[in-house]
Amino acid sequence: MVKILFFAAFIFLFSACSEDFFNQVVDIDPPEYEKQLVTHMKTGINDTAMSLSVSRNFGVLEKVPVGGWAVAGALVTMWEGDQILATFTQASIASDFQSALLSPGFFQAGRTYTLQISHPDFDTVNATQTMPQVPAVDSVTFDREGGLNAFGEELSAIDVYLQDPAGEINFYEIFIVGEYEYVDSVFDDSGNLEYVDTLLYESYFAPEGSDDPNVQFGMNNTVLISDQFFNGKPYKLNARIYRFQRPPRYAVYVRNLTEDYYLYSISALRKYNTEGIPFVEPVFVHGNLDNGIGIFGLHNEVVLRVKY
């Protein structure tokens, strides 16, 4: 009886609604915004090139024309003090993609660099970062029997032993790559073997978790931690990966990041993980571009290899 009454009331409520109930137009006054350049560039001391894409922002309800995000014709430069170290080159006249080759020793630990982007239609963008010191890593170990996760899946563990310097703030990242070697045979047009080359194939592994409660996770499958928990002391930083992943060896990239790079990586992953989920508070992605939107970040690194 109760169900019948509820259903009758439900029908009455909707039948009483006017036709306009389901066809309402709501006026929205979108917030004003400042037209700005947008870019994201993260690079390291061992990189042989820098690259970025220059785009722009649009308003919430503004219609974006086809290809409207891209901004061609920007002048992109890298400075140290009042000296230009590198000028980026566009991929083509109409391209928003720009790059610059780096000679060995281009970046030096402890030195400060400024990324500058200028375009006649926008305010000039600047962002400054100091290249961190190389992380002091005592060793990296691999334990095949790394335990189980909450679902009973078998894990392996990679432990990085750090010697954190006192009196400074550092932000560390672990990035894990599986390395495979394979033989490539090259033949001429007649089918005769010319030479055999051994090539390296890399596979990027996302960490399943960590034994360390202080660890956070970042974009591009990385493990992150601030030395606020162990400043000036030895520390073991842990990452766990699925045991079924069995490359001949792992390359473990241990990086010292700038703070802006660290904050961007954490916030960008949080935004990615909450996109499309209703009733979730918007996530602010950290940026450091003056007069622009995006990030310029630097990292120093060491690479250690361990066998499976």
pLDDT tier at 245 (50, 70, 90 boundaries)? confident
pTM of the model: 0.83
Helix/strand/coil for 34? coil
Cα gap 136→115, rounded to integer Å: 27
pLDDT tens column, 192-236 = 887 777 777 788 888 888 989 999 999 988 999 999 989 999 999
Alpha carbon 89 to its chain's center: 23
Residue 291 CB burial class (10 angstroms; 0-12, 13-18, ≥19) = middle
Question: Residue 63: what pLDDT?
Answer: 82
pLDDT digits (tens, 9 = 90+) for 15-30: 555 555 556 665 555 5
In DSSP notation, 73-106 reads S-EEEEEETTEEEEE-EESSTT--EEEEE--TT-
Q: What is the CATH number of domain 37-130?
A: 2.60.40.10
pLDDT of 257: 98
Highest mean pLDDT among 10-14, 179-183, 239-243: 239-243
Tokens of 252: 């473990």
Q: Strand 249-257 relative to strand 292-307: parallel, antiparallel, unpaired? A: antiparallel
Burial letters 133-168, b for 16+ CB under 10 A, else e: eebebeebebeeebeeeeeeeebbbbbbebebeeee
Q: For the chain, give every domain's residue range.
A: 37-130, 137-286+300-307
